[in-house]
Homo-oligomer: A and B are copies of this chain.
Amino acid sequence: MGRQQARSDASTARALDTALKLFSHQGYGATSMREIASQSGLSVGNLYHHFGSKEAIFQRLIDRYWEALLDSELDLNRVFTRGRFPEDLEEMAAAIEQVVERHQEEILLIYVDVIEFRGSHIRTFYESMADRFQEAYASSFEEARGSGRLGEVNPLVAVMVASRWLFYFFTVEKCFGVPMHFGMSPNQAVDEFARILRFGVLPRPGEAEASPDARKDMVQERGRTR
């Protein structure tokens, strides 16, 4: 790779970064090529030289996010391939928080795509993701249920509900700027969700006497925090 290439790479990277920032924070239609050009230090002509069109820049950003999500080194993918749900629920939450934190703007980009392009840039990706998910967990759950580690619920639905909820929870908090902590800290909210998912909201008859009072007090205290 010669120096000419390196110069080009640095420029396209800068252009993509500023385009990501602009698209995600004001939408695709409301962002102009001149804006991308001036804020990234390139000329408009050079932008077209490298990308060809405005929509191609958007597509490149979606693709970049895609590849980052498929990285097997990603904590979240390690949690998924391990298949230890629901024991490692807290680790799953941390991994999802990490993804949302790292890819805040790319996640907003998906909502931009849904609204301004009817989701055309991400639809096929999402469907393939759901399939991959289903395959990865289907086998490990047969074993888990056989060994009595799971209750009566469909475990595939359970892991989908859990991961989707966590994704939604952190997205609303970090990307939309509307915290959903219900008067608690983020960690407490996640803990409370994990408890609901594991034990349900109804009292568990067998454990009514077994659980110490300290736990009930803890729940009370959480409800009061502001």
CB contacts (< 8 Å) of A219 on chain B: these are 152-154
At the interface, yes or no: A68 with Cβ under 8 Å from chain B? no
At the interface, yes or no: A150 with Cβ under 8 Å from chain B? yes
- Digitize A144-169: 1 where CB-to-B-CB distance is under 8 Å, 0 elsewhere: 00001111111111101100110010
Measured in the bound complex, the distance between the Cα atoms of B183 and A205 in whole Å is 32
At the interface, yes or no: A206 with Cβ under 8 Å from chain B? yes
User: Are B30 and A183 in contact, with the CB atoms below 8 A?
Assistant: no
A178 to chain B, nearest CB (A): 6
- Contact A201 B30, CB 8 Å, known A123-B178, A178-B119, A182-B156: no
CB contacts (< 8 Å) of A156 on chain B: these are 182-183, 223
Interface centre among A148, A157, A222 (most CB of B within 10 A): A157
Measured in the bound complex, the distance between the Cα atoms of B156 and A88 in whole Å is 25
A137 to chain B, nearest CB (A): 10
Residue among B126, B157, B202 making CB contact with A178, cutoff 8 Å: B126
User: Are B151 and A86 in contact, with the CB atoms below 8 A?
Assistant: no
Q: Which residue of B lies closest to A207 (CB)?
A: B205
At the interface, yes or no: A2 with Cβ under 8 Å from chain B? no
A-B contact pairs, 6 of them (CB 8 A): A27-B30, A114-B176, A119-B178, A154-B219, A157-B189, A206-B207
